[in-house]
Amino acid sequence: MNSRRPTLADVAQRAGVSYATADRVVNGRGGVSEKTVRNVRTAVSDLNYVRNVAAANLSQQRYYRFAAVLPEGTNAFFARMRALLGAAAERLLVDRVNLTIETVAAFDPGALRDRLESLAAEGVDGIALVGSDDVSTVDAIAALRDGGIPVLTLVSEVPGSNRAAYVGIDNTVAGSTVARLITLAHGGRSGRILPIVGGLSARDHADRMQGLRNTVPSQITLAPVIEGRDRSDLVETFVADALKADPSITAIYSAGGGNSGLVRVLKSLPQDRPRPIVVLHELVANTRSALEQDLIDIIIDQRPEEEVARVIESLRLLADRRDPLMTDPIVPTIYVRENLPQDTQSTQAGEPPK
């Protein structure tokens, strides 16, 4: 029995075309009639030919050109993401991958649209982006896909968009998990949660709030949502005012950034006032320190190292016209003071003081 894998030469012979023509069809370089394309694809199917992507890229001296578009500003999590992507970009150069990290103003869909149009004009092979739930973002992603540029949504899903895949956690489940943890901490007692988001226009923050509302029991109410724009100065002011105006608050859930401002408020609470239960997102320098000092109780971390690895793998597969291997949401890690990992460089990025 012949176990030899079929080659491109076999495909060319089966389709009755030259090796060069078969190569053009298999590698999608155009310039071939529709009839010839059909014949080559039929031969590929009949022979169960599997394209050797690495060999094809090497023979074509191909470089991948990818871009990751993240919000700019002082959000500690995105500072951590930028650092991880930057480190990955250096390593990837030897693999013929050029990864650039772009930043745009947070919560500004117009700025994101303009940056995506600029990247499309440069002819990148794929884009990973953090986008808001906005029609201009949906339209921009559709335009990229129509132009043959695959798009990954990262951290925050963009419903209705023509994205190729989403890389991140299930944010609705994350919010439900927080509701369950806060409920357990109340031990059946009544309470009131103060929610903090960067902005409800950010789909990940809105989904976390929806999960919280869906799961929290009736004896625990929600205070008005604070929109801090991921700015620590705004979060500090708004939280201090909310705690002063509403002494019934027993828990705080920060679904966004600006947490160094929240920590400053918690440090300044009067000794005679019980500290609220505090749950927030992302293990970075300032949140780790707050957990170690018993200023907060729980950190929900979406494992950005895993997100970066998936983004790079998925962009390469999509650029080679293959489907991403991992499409399930990333399972976040829940940290309390007792199970904190060893302090490493990956958690050093923090928000600068304001």
Query: What's the CA gap between 99 and 64, in Å, rounded?
Result: 8
pLDDT in tens, 204-251: 999 999 999 999 999 999 999 999 999 999 999 999 999 999 999 999
pLDDT bracket for residue 54 (50, 70, 90):
low
* pLDDT of 59: 53
Q: What is the DSSP string of 103-146?
A: EE-TT-HHHHHHHHHHHHHHT-SEEEE---S-HHHHHHHHHHHH
Which residues pair with residue 128 across a beta bridge?
68, 152
How do beta strands 251-254 and 277-281 pair? parallel
* Residue of 97, 107, 94 lying closest to 68 (CA atoms): 97
pLDDT in tens, 164-196: 999 999 999 999 999 999 999 999 999 999 999
CB distance 310 to 128 below 8 Å:
no
Instruction: Determine the residue type at 158.
Output: V
Between 94 and 13, name the one with better pLDDT: 13
Going along the chain from its start, the domains and CATH numbers come out as 8-55 (1.10.260.40), 64-168+304-323 (3.40.50.2300), 171-301 (3.40.50.2300)
Using a pLDDT cut of 70, give the percent of the chain over it: 92
Query: What is the average pLDDT value for the chain, to the nearest integer?
Result: 90
Residue 325 has pLDDT above 80, yes or no: no
Q: How many other CB atoms are found less than 10 A from the CB of residue 88?
A: 18
CB distance 151 to 141 below 8 Å:
yes
pTM (two decimals): 0.81
* Cα dist from 33 to 23, 36, 39, 169, 321, whole Å: 14, 5, 10, 44, 20
